[in-house]
Amino acid sequence: MPQPISAPSPDQVTDLVTPVVVRVAVTIGLLPAEPTPMGQLAIGLGIDDSVLRRLVRFLAVRGILAVDANGVVSSTDLGRRISDRTGSYAARLDWSGAAGRMDRSFVDDCLAPVLGRRRRPDPWAVFDDDPVLSGSFDTLMTARAAEWADELVDDPLWGRLGSIADLGGGRGHPPLPPPASLAAPERRTRRTPRSGSSRPGCSCSSAEANARTTTCKRWPRRSACRWKNAGA
């Protein structure tokens, strides 16, 4: 059986306030890129000064923000990491997009194991009907893929793959050197649709993929093939 890294306290495994406050901070842009006076931060965000002070104190105690004697607020290393829009943390924590929709569905569907069904509509259908949510989901998937792409390509098994399946959605993954075997015309890349979706998967040939395809020809809204020739 898997063993926990350390024995967590009851508060660590049951606290819901901290995760929600962190998501609020990222969503409203509370974690400043540069040190900012408290009053100026409140005006810039358009929120009540007293509410801001309570949020800042809460986040400062948890090592996400720092406040000096003059009331200047700055993000700590942890705060900068989770609010960096070039990484995946901000996309995962911003409740104005797909991540927020998915987070809230966990709460709304807490009785699903008892009921045997979800209480909310099919999330993929909701995303397909909302271009903003759909776009934010694609952004989230692209950001997450960038985190594991290098490790995947460096793995010795990468060059031995005969086919690639892009599971789920998103805009495809960052351009990666394809396995050598992918150049063979009989090899194909395929894309499996999201769970519960009626949309068939993409089956673009490897020739299409190696032709620097950046958008799936069959389903342009969901790019699946972004494999580029390593020598080109």
pLDDT confidence of residue 51: 92
- Res 170: pLDDT: 56
- Residue 140: how many CB atoms within 10 A of its CB? 21
Question: What is the pLDDT tens value at each position of the chain, 232 positions in all?
Answer: 555 567 778 887 888 899 999 999 999 999 999 999 999 999 999 999 999 999 999 999 999 999 999 999 999 999 999 998 877 888 889 998 888 888 888 777 777 777 777 777 777 788 888 888 888 888 888 888 777 878 887 888 887 877 777 665 555 555 555 555 444 444 444 444 444 433 333 444 334 333 333 343 333 334 333 333 333 3
Task: Quote the distance between the C-alpha of residue 66 and its chain's center.
Answer: 26
CATH number assigned to the domain comprising residue 31: 1.10.10.10
The three-point CA angle 220-221-225 to 5° equals 55
- Enumerate the H helices of the chain as residue ranges: 10-14, 17-28, 38-45, 49-61, 77-83, 89-93, 98-108, 112-115, 123-129, 131-154, 206-210
Residue at 145 is within a domain: no
Flag whether 59 is in a domain. yes
Per the domain annotation, does 22 fall within a domain?
A: yes
Is position 46 within any domain?
Answer: yes
Domains: count for the chain: 1
Structure token digits, residue 164: 């690639």
Q: Is residue 52 part of a domain?
A: yes
* Spatial distance between the Cα atoms of 1 and 10, rounded to a whole number of angstroms: 21
Residue 187 lies in a domain: no
Domain membership of residue 151 (yes or no) is no
Q: Is residue 45 part of a domain?
A: yes
Domain range enclosing 72: 10-83
> Cα separation of 155 and 159, whole Å?
8
Give Rg (Cα) of the chain.
22
How far, in whole angstroms, is CA 33 from its chain's centroid?
A: 20
pLDDT tens, position by position, 152-180: 878 888 878 777 776 655 555 555 555 55
